Amino acid sequence: MSDKPQYWFNIRTKQVELGLKSSSLDRVGPFDSEQEAQNAEEIIKARSQDWKQQEIDDD
């Protein structure tokens, strides 16, 4: 296990959290940096669009 801090984004409060502070139902991550966690919603949206396009391409 790494001692490197992990950041999470709480989708209910819209706040970045250091470590496992909230329920797993309310958080996404982990992210390597606070900045990356702050951009969690954009990252998730982009990944979702990529996966959707990949499924279309695979069909």
Q: Domain of 25?
A: 7-58
Within a domain: residue 39? yes
- Report the domain count for the chain: 1
Query: Given pLDDT bands bounded at 50, 70 and 90, which one contains residue 2?
Result: low
Within a domain: residue 1? no
> For 17-56, what is each residue's pLDDT tens digit?
999 999 999 999 999 999 999 999 999 999 999 999 998 9
The reported pLDDT for the residue numbered 18 is 97
Residue 11, pLDDT above cutoff 70: yes
Within a domain: residue 34? yes
Within a domain: residue 2? no
The reported pLDDT for the residue numbered 30 is 95
Within a domain: residue 27? yes
Buried b (16+ CB within 10 A) or exposed e, 37-51: bbebeebeeeeeeee
